[in-house]
Amino acid sequence: MKFGYNLLNLKEKGQVTVVEPMKIIASNITDMYKDFTNRTETVISDVNFTEHVDIAHRFFACVKEKYDEAARFTESVVLIIDDINHLLNLGLSLRDTMYFIRYLRSFISLYPLSQLCILAHIYQENLQTSNADIIANALKYMTHLCVTTQPFKTGHSSDVSGKLTVYWKTDSVRSKYHWLEKTTHLFKLLDWQVKICAPGAMSILS
């Protein structure tokens, strides 16, 4: 998935649909000034409109619409949020962002063959106060599988890029394949792939 190469190929084949919140917001802002006599639902509401607007649910509705389109062709849909921090950057509150995640989880739980993957970033300097870190910690608590990546604290290495840790939270799946609850690997970012190896091992898996 390095540089999105594989993702772009799948998008060209029609196997991946991309939902971009900024484009949704921009189109809704334009629509708000066109014709108020025929008011339609928008993600970002008119500031003078007194009715309560659930922004998180409107974002979810946009994603759900794209999911339904994809589900017409396959029962197994992987919904990837890349990344959840962008909602905070767009000005959504911590409450709105958490509600958006809850909407997604409740919806995807209705489809056992589908999966929900959420990417989040954390900031080591403000672990107790950063909204991004609060969201990341909440995701760690509620997820079935959590994968974390981080650079080496000691500095740059020419052989590996950082450390990758896998946490299995679902005992039934973990015990079926005899996996440990927590495993640690080293990873190396290459131009078109990511290679993974166990600490101390010389061979690297693609």
DSSP per-residue string spanning 136-193: HHHHHHH-SEEEEEE--TT---SS--EEEEEEE--HHHHHHTT--SEEEEEEEE-SS-
Query: Looking at residue 3, what is its pLDDT?
Result: 47
Give the strand pairing for 194-197 and 182-189. antiparallel
C-alpha distances out from residue 201 to 126, 137, 138, 152, Å: 34, 30, 33, 17
In sequence order, the 6+-apart residues with CB closer than 8 A to the CB of 121 are: 83, 85, 132, 136
| Cβ neighbour number for residue 152 with a 10 Å cutoff | 12
* Residue 158 in tokens: 């020419």
Q: Which residue has the higher pLDDT, 189 or 110?
A: 110
Q: Do 98 and 135 touch, CB atoms closer than 8 A?
A: yes
Q: Which residue has the higher pLDDT, 122 or 46?
A: 122
Q: Which residue has the higher pLDDT, 182 or 3?
A: 182
Query: Looking at residue 21, what is its pLDDT?
Result: 63
66-111: pLDDT as tens digits: 889 888 888 888 888 888 888 888 788 899 999 999 999 999 999 9
Q: Where are the alpha helices (DSSP H) in 13-130?
A: 21-32, 55-71, 85-89, 94-108
**Exposed/middle/buried for 159, CB within 10 Å: 0-12, 13-18, 19+?**
exposed
Q: Do 138 and 155 touch, CB atoms closer than 8 A?
A: no
5-59: pLDDT as tens digits: 667 777 777 667 777 666 666 565 555 445 444 555 545 444 444 343 478 888 8
* Residue 148 in tokens: 């974390």
131-185: pLDDT as tens digits: 888 898 899 888 999 999 888 877 777 788 888 999 988 888 888 888 888 999 8
Chain-centroid distance of CA 22 in Å reads 16
**Exposed/middle/buried for 65, CB within 10 Å: 0-12, 13-18, 19+?**
exposed
Query: Looking at residue 128, what is its pLDDT?
Result: 59
**Exposed/middle/buried for 125, CB within 10 Å: 0-12, 13-18, 19+?**
exposed
Query: Looking at residue 178, what is its pLDDT?
Result: 85
The pLDDT confidence band at residue 127, using thresholds 50, 70 and 90, is low
Query: Looking at residue 1, what is its pLDDT?
Result: 42
Query: Looking at residue 102, what is its pLDDT?
Result: 93
